[in-house]
Chain A
């Protein structure tokens, strides 16, 4: 199955990686104590690891070509079996009970697990919403926004500052934070959205960093790097909750928000506006020639994405009761982007699964948590190369209109 030639090539690959990683992975020099540590074991790991991976990729590739050959050989057999997950998604008979079961599980979760777990789950749910928000921008409208975290920061600081200066409570701050973030989205979006895709990515990254740097340096406004503390947790009809009750309360707020978000995003994606986003992602020029206002459509996507980020920012501030600019770095944007890319751009379920996997896995596998960011980086590369449509790709459009057609037209 594996020829000698292939083994030789994998061996060379492994040799190359040993060379490549030698200085950084093997040598550790300390200029102050003037000591050198030689970590030869790392060289061994790299050699074995890259050899095995290289063989694996070769095997997978040859099988793929074989499968393709077989498929083109028997051309009549075009009935490709759909993956199980798509079958479930397309059939309400399976989908509704499943969604119900998941909701019930989410509702009883805090009674099955302790406060710590509930807290982690709240974080994961926040990332679900952030992912769904970014999914509107990146997944549906195809605008690579690398400064998404800026809107998250706007939401968080809106609550923190409005509360500190005017005593505005959580429930008032939630819509205000969302509104501020949306306005920011529109103000920033207006000049930049006519830029080409890759420039847009860099400009949004620049904006994100500018906002963070301003928060870091403008002490009078944001209290600089030391941040704002003592932000109140959400209150319930003016009653102060105990810490544990508050955690529970935020958890349920998040569950509700996730449901609302799924509902809204789902409806958006099947609407006139959602179609325009997807068309825009596919071909801007054709889209304009079909009478779609490019700027307005992009701006809507940008602002809607920002709205959710703003809302999550308020929740974040209320949950941690302390915020500082360090929470809003580019890496945060990158994590949310990884969620969308892993899950499947444009796919709602994909993004939900992506968020849960990427946020919960490192929490539960503590040993892995050091390698978290390494993995996020790798995920972006690997997904782009092997599965750009994500783990759960979006196929909604074929069936949706079929139903309506059979009901109304024929």
Chain B
């Protein structure tokens, strides 16, 4: 039973991170219908920025709390900046091109960013400083659930509540919803669609950056390649929940996290990634609209 609960929490933690990244995929897809293949790299850049900033600050002797806040802020700022720039450079010129063109461009961007970080930093795994301390009050439960699991769950919940509020009640959130329903109509009623798209990339990237920071600190190491696998898994989560649907991304993330955790815990850990990929393939083949998504009606 304890093992079960342990797996449950580790699954939830993973799922929460997948959900954070999946939100970026789902929001972008909802608005411009593009699988933003480079999103995993945005997450990786967030983790790297956090790594660089926190290492520098800790060498300079800053207190832990300041390091956490500044590293998190820097990760969010730079990830957003990269997300924004990638959209402007690689996707915006292709908005009216055939559907596969922006996808190929996105794949190119993903490969470019991976190798950019590889060349600018290093190909080795870098030890990521432990930013989340072990809390005393968690002591009795430490064999089942660590402090960092708890922090990840709390932070992701907060982020998701924040995102929901943003989309439901703010001006830009309403504009986002309008644009995702009908871009032309949104334009006609005076919404600056370019700005909405940029905002979507910025918000999605910031969420991914927070995910990057949390998971890197949880696992304790990063390298330039972490975005690829995480990206595909988060995409799986987004599709599982129904791409374009925000609650779907969260649900998909949690289901994927739990599946992986239980499958590796009870079946075999060798095939951890195979489970995720197989899940992805199966959903796309049998229920491409996902759990909460709407089926598309082909227009002729």
- Which residues of chain A from 127 to 167 have any CB-CB distance to chain B below 8 Å in the complex? 142, 144, 146
Q: Take A203-B284, A210-B274, A334-B107 as given contacts and tell me if A198 and B129 are in contact as well, using a CB distance cutoff of 8 Å.
A: no
Contact B119 A374 (CB under 8 A): yes
Contact B103 A144 (CB under 8 A): yes
- Which residues of chain A from 202 to 244 have any CB-CB distance to chain B below 8 Å in the complex? 202-203, 205-207, 209-210, 213-214, 217
Hey, which chain A residues are within 8 Å of B101, CB to CB? 384, 388
Contact A384 B94 (CB under 8 A): yes
Contact B56 A36 (CB under 8 A): yes
Contact A20 B281 (CB under 8 A): no
Using CB atoms, name the residue of chain B closest to A33.
Answer: B59
Q: Render A235-279 as a binary contact track against B, CB cut-off 8 A, 1 for contact.
A: 000000000000000000000000000000000000000000000
- Which residues of chain A from 372 to 391 have any CB-CB distance to chain B below 8 Å in the complex? 373-374, 376-382, 384-385, 388
From A16, A20, A209, A213, contact of B78 by CB (8 A): A20
Binds B, one of A2-10, A22-30, A116-124, A349-357: A22-30
Contact A380 B271 (CB under 8 A): no
Binds B, one of A89-97, A103-111, A189-197, A395-403: A189-197
Asked if B168 CB lies within 8 Å of chain A CBs, one says no
Hey, which chain B residues are within 8 Å of A28, CB to CB? 121
Hey, which chain A residues are within 8 Å of B93, CB to CB? 385
- Which residues of chain B from 259 to 289 have any CB-CB distance to chain A below 8 Å in the complex? 270-271, 273-274, 277-278, 280-281, 284-285, 288
Asked if A32 CB lies within 8 Å of chain B CBs, one says yes
Q: Take A24-B117, A217-B271 as given contacts and tell me if A203 and B280 are in contact as well, using a CB distance cutoff of 8 Å.
A: yes
Asked if B120 CB lies within 8 Å of chain A CBs, one says yes
Hey, which chain A residues are within 8 Å of B288, CB to CB? 195-196, 199
Contact A195 B59 (CB under 8 A): no
Hey, which chain B residues are within 8 Å of A376, CB to CB? 108, 111
The total of Cβ contacts below 8 Å across the A-B interface reads 167
Asked if B187 CB lies within 8 Å of chain A CBs, one says no
Using CB atoms, name the residue of chain B closest to A21.
Answer: B120
- Which residues of chain A from 168 to 209 have any CB-CB distance to chain B below 8 Å in the complex? 191-192, 195-199, 201-203, 205-207, 209
Contact A206 B49 (CB under 8 A): no
Q: Take A209-B273, A210-B277, A385-B94 as given contacts and tell me if A380 and B285 are in contact as well, using a CB distance cutoff of 8 Å.
A: no
Contact B85 A20 (CB under 8 A): yes
Q: Render B81-96 as a binary contact track against A, CB cut-off 8 A, 1 for contact.
A: 1100100011001100
Asked if B184 CB lies within 8 Å of chain A CBs, one says no
Q: Take A209-B277, A210-B281, A374-B116 as given contacts and tell me if A27 and B108 are in contact as well, using a CB distance cutoff of 8 Å.
A: no
- Known A24-B48, A29-B55; further 20 A-B contacts with Cβ < 8 A: A20-B85, A23-B78, A29-B59, A31-B51, A31-B58, A31-B128, A35-B59, A144-B100, A198-B103, A201-B100, A203-B281, A205-B232, A207-B281, A210-B278, A213-B271, A213-B273, A334-B107, A376-B111, A384-B108, A388-B97
Residues of A within 8 A of B (CB): 16, 19-21, 23-25, 27-32, 34-36, 42, 142, 144, 146, 191-192, 195-199, 201-203, 205-207, 209-210, 213-214, 217, 285, 330-331, 334, 337-338, 341, 370-371, 373-374, 376-382, 384-385, 388
5 contacts between A and B (CB under 8 A): A31-B127, A209-B232, A213-B273, A217-B270, A377-B109
